[in-house]
Amino acid sequence: MALGPRLDLRQTQSLVMTPQLQQAIKLLTLSNLEIEAFIGDALDANPLLEMGEAPPVEPVEIEARRTSLESSPCDQLIGEGMAAEDCPLDISAETLDVDRDTGDGGGDTPERYEPAFEGEATISGGGEAPAMEEYGAFDETLAEHLHGQIGAVVRDPKLAFIARFLIDQLDDAGYLAASLREIAMDLQVSPAEVEAALALVQSLDPTGVGARSLSECIALQAREADRYDPAMARLIDNLEMIARGELPRLRRMCGVDEEDFADMLAELRGYDPKPGLRYGGGAAAPVVPDILITARADGGWNVALNQATLPKLILNRSYYLEMRGACAGKTAGKEDRGWLSEKLADANWLVKALDQRQKTILKVASELVRQQEGFFRRGVSQLKPLTLRAVAETVGLHESTVSRVTSNKYLMCERGTFELKYFFTSGVSGADGEGVSAEAVKAAIKQLIDNEDPKKILSDDTLVDLLKAKGFELARRTVAKYREAIGLGSSVQRRRQKALSGKR
Tell me the DSSP string of 45-83.
H-TTEEE--PPPPPPEEE-TTS-----SHHHHHHHTT-G
Give the pLDDT score at 123: 36
DSSP state for residue 156 in the 8-state scheme: -
Q: What is the mean pLDDT of the chain?
A: 76
Alpha-carbon separation of residue 230 from 219, 236, 254, 257, 449 (angstroms): 11, 10, 8, 14, 39
CA–CA separation, 386 vs 104, rounded Å?
11
Q: Give the β-pairing of 291-295 and 416-419.
A: unpaired
- Model confidence band, residue 97 (pLDDT cutoffs 50, 70, 90): very low
Q: Is the pLDDT of residue 96 over 80?
A: no
Backbone angles phi, psi at 209, to 5 degrees: -70, 150
**What is the average per-residue pLDDT within 236-262?**
86
Per-residue pLDDT for 131 more than 70?
Answer: no
**pLDDT value of position 94:** 38
Distance CA 276, CA 273 (A): 9
Q: What percent of the chain has pLDDT over 70?
A: 77
- With a CB cutoff of 8 Å and minimum separation 6, the contacts of 457 are 491, 494, 495, 498
pLDDT at residue 90 in the model: 41
Q: How confident is the model at residue 139 (pLDDT cuts 50, 70, 90)?
A: low
SS3 of 5, please?
Answer: coil
pLDDT for the residue 221: 92
Predicted confidence at residue 53, as pLDDT, reads 65
| AA letter at 21 | L
Whole-number pLDDT of residue 251: 87
pLDDT at 56: 56
Beta-bridge partners for 453: 456
Residue 1: predicted pLDDT: 60
Please tell me the predicted confidence (pLDDT) of residue 431: 52
Bigger pLDDT: 439 vs 480: 480
Distance CA 290, CA 296 (A): 19
CB–CB of 142/201 below 8 Å? Answer: no
What pLDDT does 78 receive? 38
pLDDT band at 129 (very low <50, low <70, confident <90, very high): very low
Is the pLDDT at 99 greater than 60, yes or no? no
* Amino acid (1-letter code) at residue 394: T
Closest CA to 441 of 378, 368, 384, 358: 384
What burial class does residue 426 get, using C-beta atoms within 10 Å of its C-beta: 0-12 exposed, 13-18 middle, 19+ buried?
Answer: middle
| β partners of residue 292 | 304, 412
Cis, peptide link before residue 19, omega less than 30° from 0: no
3-state secondary structure 408-419: CCEEEECCEEEE
Question: Distance between CA atoms of 40 and 84, rounded to whole angstroms?
Answer: 32
Q: pLDDT grade, residue 175 (50/70/90)? A: very high
pLDDT in tens, 400-439: 888 888 888 899 998 888 888 888 876 665 555 556 677 7
Could you give the C-alpha distances from 58 to 54, 302, 358, in angstroms and in order?
A: 12, 10, 10
What is the reported pLDDT for 113?
35
Element (H, E) at 294: strand 291-295
Percent pLDDT > 90 in the chain is 6
Lowest mean pLDDT of 23-27, 103-107, 127-131, 216-220, name the range: 103-107
Q: For 267-299, what is each residue's pLDDT tens digit?
A: 888 898 988 888 765 455 677 888 999 988 888
For the segment 357-391, what is each residue's pLDDT rounded down to a tens digit? Answer: 888 999 999 999 998 888 888 887 778 888 888 88
Predicted local confidence at residue 435, as pLDDT: 60
Predicted local distance difference test score (pLDDT) of residue 217: 92
**Cα separation, 496 vs 267, whole angstroms:** 19
- What was the pLDDT predicted at 429? 58
Nearest to 449 by CA among 437, 459, 436, 439: 459
239 in Cβ contact with 250 (< 8 Å):
no
Peptide bond into 88 cis (omega under 30): yes
Give the pLDDT of residue 40.
84
Task: Judge contact between 123 and 267, C-beta under 8 A.
Answer: no
Q: What is the pLDDT of residues 31-89, one digit of tens each?
A: 877 888 888 888 888 888 888 765 555 667 776 554 333 444 444 443 444 444 444 33
Region 81-103: what's the mean pLDDT? 39
How far apart are the C-alpha atoms of 423 and 403, rounded to whole Å? 12
